[in-house]
Amino acid sequence: MANKFAYGTLVQGDYFTDRINELAKIKQFLNSENHLILISPRRYGKSSLVKKCVEELGRPYVWLDMQYAISTASFTTQLLKATLAQYPMERLKYELRRFRILPTATFNPVTNDYQFSFQTSEAADNTMLEDVMEMLQRLSTPKEKLIVVFDEFQEVRNIDKHLDKQLRSIMQLQKGLNYIFLGSQEGMMLEIFERKKSPFYHFGGLMRLNKIPYDDFYQFVIDRLPKTPNKETVTREILSFSSCHPYYTQQLAFEVSNQIESNQIHKDVVKYAIQAVIQAHDLDYERLWETFNNTDKGTLLRLSRNEKPLSNRDVATSTTFSSLKRLVKSGVVVRTEDYILEDPFFAEWLKIKQNPIRRTL
C-alpha cells in the first residue's frame, strides 16, 4: 500500500489538504488587478497553496525564492532564469535583444539549463533589474496574464538595502500582471507592507494563512491511515502532538503509516513513530543545538517544558525578550497565541535530553 502522506516538498494532488476557502480567496485576488501578500509561519503550506492555485487557473507564473539571492545582481539573474523556466528561449531571445546591458548566456548540455551573467557595477545592477522587470510586463498579455511569486519576500532588505525601493518604483507603473509576496516572518513582512514610510506600504491585499481546522485535518488523516485498531485514537494522538501543523502532521502521519504497514505495530504506534523521527534527526538536532548561545538554550529548554519564558524571574525580562526575538527571526520559535517551538519533534528531543527516561516507551 502506497503511503498517502507527503511532506518536505510542495504538496500537490491527493496529498493536498483542504484550504478550499483560502484557494477561493487567492483566486479572487488573481482575477483582479490587485496584488497579494500572504503571511504564515514556515511549513504551513503557503507555497503548496499558491502553486495549486496558479496551476488551477492555468496561467503562466514566474517563481523566485528570495532566500537564495545574495545581491541585486543575483536576484536579477535568478529572476531571469525563473522566467526562462516558464517561457521558451526562442521567445525570450527577442526580449533579451531589448536589454540595455546584454547578459552572457551559457548553455549546460548536461543539465539542459542556461546560466546568465551580467556586468557587475551598481549602475549595471540597477539597469539590468529594470530590464528584467520590464520584460515581465511585456510577457504578460490579457490572454496569458502573468503571475510573479516572490517567496520569502522579507529577505528583500537583506539582499540589498535599496532593493525594495527599486522594485516598488518599477512595479507601481506596471499593469496587467499580478504579484504575490509570500513571507514567513510576520514582523518583517508587516514592517515592509504596513509601515507608512515603507516603499511597499499597502501595495497589496494582506492575507494570513492559519493552521488547517482540526475537524478537516482529522478527516484527512483518518481517511488515509492504513487499517489499524483504534484508528480514531491514533488520529487524535497525531493531531495532539502536531497541534494541526500542516507539515508536522503529514510527517508524523507518514511515519505512523510506515510503522503500521512494515512492523504491524498497533499499540503505542504514535509514540514509536515520534521516536523514529527523532532518532532519524538526532544528529541534525545536535548540530542545531550547538549553534545557540547559553541564553537561547535556556529559553528553548523552558519552551520545551511549556513554561512561559517571560515570566521566569531568574533571567532579566529584556534578556529573555532579546533571546525570543532572535529565535523567532531564525524560525526556531514562532509566536501565535504565545511563543512555542516551531518543530514539535525538536521540542520532544529537548525533553528527552532533559529527562532520558522518556526514551523508554
- How far, in whole angstroms, is CA 194 from its chain's centroid? 21
Among residues 270, 226, 249, 237, the alpha carbon closest in space to that of 4 is found at 226
Residue 65 has pLDDT above 70, yes or no: yes
Residue in the block written with cell 536579477: 76
Q: What pLDDT is recorded for position 138?
A: 94
Quick count: other Cβ atoms within 10 Å of Cβ 11? 21
**CATH number belonging to domain 19-208:** 3.40.50.300
- Domain 283-359 maps to which CATH number in 3.10.450.50, 3.40.50.300, 3.30.2230.10, 1.10.10.10? 1.10.10.10
Tens-digit pLDDT profile for residues 42-58: 888 898 899 989 999 99
Report the pLDDT value the prediction gives residue 10, as an integer from 0 to 100.
Answer: 63
Model confidence over 269-323: pLDDT tens digits?
A: 999 999 999 999 999 999 999 999 999 999 999 999 988 877 666 666 788 889 9
Average pLDDT, the chain: 88
Task: Name 137's Cβ contacts closer than 8 Å, sequence gap at least 6.
Answer: 174, 175, 176, 177
- Beta partners for 87? none
**150 vs 156: CA distance, rounded Å:** 10
Question: Across residues 204-225, what is the average pLDDT?
Answer: 91
Segment 187-192 shows an average pLDDT of 91
Which residues are within 8 A (CB) of 360 and not within 5 positions of it... i.e. 6 or more apart?
none
Q: CA 182, 186, 191 angle in degrees (round to 5)? A: 95
The gap between the terminal CA atoms of the chain, to the nearest Å, is 27
Range 160-167 average pLDDT: 94
Mean per-residue pLDDT for 203-207?
Answer: 94
**b/e per residue 136-171 (b: at least 16 CB within 10 A):** bbebbeeeebbbbbbbbbbbbeebbeebbebbbebb
pLDDT value of position 360: 46
In whole angstroms, give the CA distance from residue 10 to residue 317. 39
Residue 349 has pLDDT above 50, yes or no: yes
* Confidence tier at 102 by pLDDT (50, 70, 90): confident
